[in-house]
Amino acid sequence: STHWAFLALNKDLGTGKCWGDQTSGGDCTSVDFTGITDVYSTIWAFLALNKDLGTGQCWGDQTHGGDCTSVNFTGITDV
């Protein structure tokens, strides 16, 4: 969870549900949880990581970790 939002993840089904403050990660409707291996969070944002594909998706406060569009997650095994 972040400080103001929660995530419930089903890795087997590749689904996730978020709730709470939308600007702090409570809205994950744009996130594809298929193949996600790990989820990390800060006070303001989430990262859903697929270690197998080397991809990550971030959401939450854009200025505090919610924007990872410029990050290459290839080879990342831990955050």
Taking only the tens place, the pLDDT of each residue in 5-63 is 999 999 999 999 999 999 999 999 999 999 999 999 999 999 999 999 999 999 999 99
CA distance 6 to 4: 7
CA distance 49 to 37: 6
Tell me the three state secondary structure of residue 48: strand
CA distance 7 to 1: 6
The answer to whether residue 77 scores a pLDDT higher than 90 is no
The answer to whether residue 78 scores a pLDDT higher than 90 is no
CA distance 37 to 3: 22
